[in-house]
Amino acid sequence: MIFKRKAYAQLKEWKERYAGKYAVLLEGARRVGKTTIVREFAENEYESFIFIDFSNVSQNVLECFEDIWNLNIFFLRLQTVTGIQLIKGKSVIVFDEVQLFPRARQAIKHLVADGRYHYIETGSLISIHKNVKDILIPSEEMKIPVYPMDYEEFMLACGNNTYHVLEEFLNRKEPIGQTNQKLMRDFRLYMAVGGMPQAVEAYIEGKNIVQIDAVKREIICLYEDDFRKIDRSGKISQMYHSIPAQLSKNKKRFVISSATGKKKLSSDDKLLYELVDSKTVLISYNSNNPTTSLAASKDIDSYKLYVADTGLFITLMYIDQPVNLIYEKMLSDKLPANLGYLYENAVAQMIVSHKRELFYHTWKKPDSSHYFEIDFLMSYGEKMIPIEVKSSSIKSHASLSDYKRKYGKFMKEGLIVSQKDLQYVDNFVNLPMYLLPHYLDKLY
C-alpha cells in the first residue's frame, strides 16, 4: 500500500529549493517506509529515474563506481547497465540503503557539483562508525528524518481525513465532550498497531491483532539482526529490550548495567550511542536547570530511553505474554493504572516527530530522599513548557504544581497530557493525547 507521508512534502520542498546544490538523505530506522516514499516520489516527480538498492545490487552496477573521475563515462555505463535513460534536469538517481556501499555516498560531492541530475539517498544505521570511517562525508547532503507514521498519517491511511478539524477545539479552548472517549479509543488503537507501515497495512487489510503483532515481532527480529552485526556481545539488543522494564520502575535515568546484567564498561557508552544512531530508540536528557537553554543544561550522564514506535514498545512490553489478552485490555482501557510509561512513550514519539529534542527534569522533594519529576520539557522563546503525562486521573499533579511554585516565572504554561477532555485551569492545560500534535504545531 502507498500511504500519504509527510516526508513526501519535504522531498518536494527539497526538489524545488535545494536539489541543484544538495543531495537529500532520508534517514531513519528500518521499515519506517523510506524506500516506499522515495520510489513513489521518483515515479511521480521525475521523467525518469535510476533506483539502486545496495542491499540487492548487481556487480555490474557496483563496478560503475570504481572510477568516477570521468562522469561522462560513469553516467554512460550506469545507463547501459540499468537500461534506463537519464534526462538532464529531469531525472533523479536514488541510492537506497547507501550505508551498505559508502563509496556511493562519498561520490555525492562530485555528482551534485556536476549538476546534471538530482540525487536521493536512504539509510538505516547510517552513522555507525564502521560504515563511514573510510570515506569523506559529503557536505552537499541535506537530511530528512523519517519516523514511524504519526497519528494523522495513521488516520489518513484508515480513510479518516478529519483529524485536522480537531484543531478548532484547541483554537477555541473548548472541551470536546462525549466524543473525547471515542477519539481516545481511536488513539489507543493507533498506539496498539503503531506507526510501522507494515503493521498499519496489516490492520487495514483486516488482519487480526495476533497477525498484526506478528508483523511487529518480525520487525523487532530485524532490528536484533542489525544490532548483532555491529555488536556481537549482544549488549545493544539487551539495552533495547530493557527499555519498557526500566521505564516501568520510574527511575531517574536509564541504567546500562541493569540492561546487561554486568558492570558498566567505558565501551558501553559507545554501544549506547550506536543504538541511538540506529533511530530505533529515542533519548531524553535530564536538564539540570530549566531556567536556561535546555541544550546547555543537559546532563549527558542522566538520560532515559524510549522506543521510536509505540506499537513496537507494546510488543516489547509483552514479548513473552499472550497477545490477545493484552490488546483487549488496552483497547478497552482496562490496563492497570501504573502503565503511565506506555503513554509517556507515545508522547515522546510525538514530540520527536515534531523535530524537537527530548528533555526532562528531576529535583529532590523537601525533607525526603524522593524526587519530583517533569516527564518532558520544551522551550518556547525564553519560557518553558513542562509536561506531565497521566494514564488516567488528572486530579493529582504534584510535580507540575511544585514546578510552577519553583520556576513559575520561567514557565509559559503547564501541560497535563492524558486521556481526559480538553480543559484550561490555573495556567495548566489538560490536553487529550490526540491533540498534542496540534499543540506542538502551534509552537512554531
Q: Is the dihedral of CA 221, 227, 231, 234 positive or negative?
A: negative
Query: What backbone torsions phi and psi does residue 91 show, to the nearest 5 degrees?
Result: -130, 155
Instruction: Please give the chain's pLDDT, 444 residues, in tens.
Output: 899 999 999 999 999 999 999 999 999 999 999 999 999 999 999 999 999 999 999 999 999 998 888 999 999 999 999 999 999 999 999 999 998 998 898 899 999 999 999 999 998 876 655 566 666 667 789 999 999 999 999 999 999 998 889 999 999 999 999 999 999 999 999 999 999 999 999 999 999 888 999 999 999 999 999 999 889 999 999 999 999 999 988 888 999 999 999 999 989 999 999 999 999 999 999 999 998 889 999 999 999 999 999 999 999 988 887 676 677 777 777 766 667 889 999 999 999 999 999 999 999 988 777 889 999 999 998 899 999 999 876 677 889 999 999 999 999 999 999 999 999 987 899 999 999 999 999 887
State how far the Cα of 92 lies from the Cα of 356, in Å rounded to an integer. Answer: 30
Query: Do 329 and 256 meet the contact criterion of CB atoms below 8 Å apart?
Result: no
DSSP-derived letter for residue 139 is S
Residue 140, pLDDT score: 84
Residue 46, pLDDT score: 98
Residue 128, pLDDT score: 57
Residue 263, pLDDT score: 93
The dotted CATH code for 6-145 is 3.40.50.300
Count of CB atoms situated within 10 Å of the CB of 262: 12
Only one residue has cell 533511530, namely 279
First-to-final CA distance of the chain = 32
Collapsing DSSP states into helix, strand and coil, what is residue 89?
Answer: coil
User: What are the extents of the domains in the chain?
Assistant: 6-145, 151-441
DSSP-derived letter for residue 418 is E
Residue 200, pLDDT score: 97
DSSP-derived letter for residue 32 is S
| pTM metric for this prediction | 0.93
